[in-house]
Structure 1
Amino acid sequence: MSEGDAVVGDGRNESVNQQMDRNWGELIQELRVLQTGVQILAGFLLTIPFQERFKTLDDYQVGLYLANVILAALTTAVILLPVSVHRRLFRKQLKKTLVSSADRIAKVALTGVALLSAGTASLVFDVTAGRDAGLLAGGGLLAAMVLLLVLVPNWLLKRASKV
């Protein structure tokens, strides 16, 4: 099938180029949603050192805080990566490469958001309710993220393929 051929079997009357344009738009919208979540968590994290209570954090809590800040910055960079790739590949007739790479990047970004959410919850619970509560909250949220972001989509895919 050439770049201009219609895609067979997906129920749409669109060329491969049109499909890639639509897929790119959908990926960018998903990354916008992820970016908002990361910005909220990062913004929260960046206010913490300016609170009086920050001085009372123990070494573990400071380490967890700093790990979360680095994770927020790295996840932000990953979410911005498709824009950088798009700028580099723009007008090079490489939309399929762009879309497939952005798909993989979005999955990495989802992982970063899940880890950041669990890490931030762990920090908040650790500071407010103790170490055991922090570990339980972080671990529980991480398990919930795996369930919601990995297992549920995989289950839906298997269920859809049986239909």
Structure 2
Amino acid sequence: MISKRLSYQRDDESSGERLDRHWNELLQELRLVQTGTQILFAFLLGIAFQNQFHTADRFTHAVYACTLLAAAVAVSLFLAPVAFHRFLYREGLRDRLIIVTDRLVRAGMVFLVASVGGGVLIALDVVLPRPAATVLVGVLLGWFGVLWLVLPAYVRHKRDVPG
């Protein structure tokens, strides 16, 4: 999939220009997800220090722990391209840098969705019955799946259909 995207080249650009364009596109995407993920992570860190949180049940503590870890993993995956770039800068490996960064961002998005779902579950569990909160989070995760997977697949399919 990434090889198709990397092979796409405008008529007026060289291979190096194409790699630079792909790298810049990835950086723009990273800027968006890094900020939101870091804000979510900071918010989650603060929850454990609230007095009411200590009286929560095991379920809430387990969801919180998984959510916090998912957010931390997402942060690490979204920041990894920076370190990766620093070590490979001027090594002539931009093509590999783009492929690895793309995979890191995709993995980070999986952990970001998990942390968003966990955060919403923690909040809804306070104001709704637990079964209702769980169902709503399932619907929310399905919504992410539709927007992030189904819709792009549909658009790609329509592009490939002749006529």
TM-score, structure 1 as length reference? 0.89
Instruction: Indicate the larger mover: 84-93 or 129-138.
Output: 129-138
Residue 148 and residue 54 in structure 1: after superposition, are their counterparts in 2 closer, same or farther (change >3 A)? same
Residue 20 and residue 8 in structure 1: after superposition, are their counterparts in 2 closer, same or farther (change >3 A)? closer
**For residues 15 and 26 of structure 1, what CA distance do their matches in structure 2 show?**
17
Give 1:53's aligned residue.
Answer: 52
Tell me the CA shift for residue 10 of structure 1.
4.2
Residue 23 and residue 8 in structure 1: after superposition, are their counterparts in 2 closer, same or farther (change >3 A)? closer
Flag the structure with more relative contact order, 1 or 2, with Cα contacts below 8 A and sequence separation at least 6.
2
Give the aligned CA root-mean-square deviation in angstroms: 1.8
**For residues 57 and 7 of structure 2, what CA distance do their matches in structure 1 show?**
60
Identity of aligned residues (%): 32
Residue 160 and residue 65 in structure 1: after superposition, are their counterparts in 2 closer, same or farther (change >3 A)? same
| Cα shift readout 1:106-147 (whole Å, capped 9, x = no counterpart) | 111111111111111111111221311221122111111111
The answer as to whether partners of 2:78 and 2:105 remain within 8 angstroms in 1 is yes
User: Secondary structure at the residue paired with 1:50?
Assistant: coil
Give 2:80's aligned residue.
Answer: 81
Matched letter for residue 161 of structure 2 = K
| Cα shift readout 1:35-83 (whole Å, capped 9, x = no counterpart) | 1121221122112122221122100101100111111111100001111
- The runs of 4+ residues in structure 1 deviating greater than 2 Å are 7-12
Give the aligned length: 157
Gaps of 5+ in 2: 1-5
Gaps of 5+ in 1: 1-6
Tell me the CA shift for residue 17 of structure 1.
0.6
Instruction: Indicate the larger mover: 70-79 or 103-112.
Output: 103-112
TM-score, structure 2 as length reference? 0.89
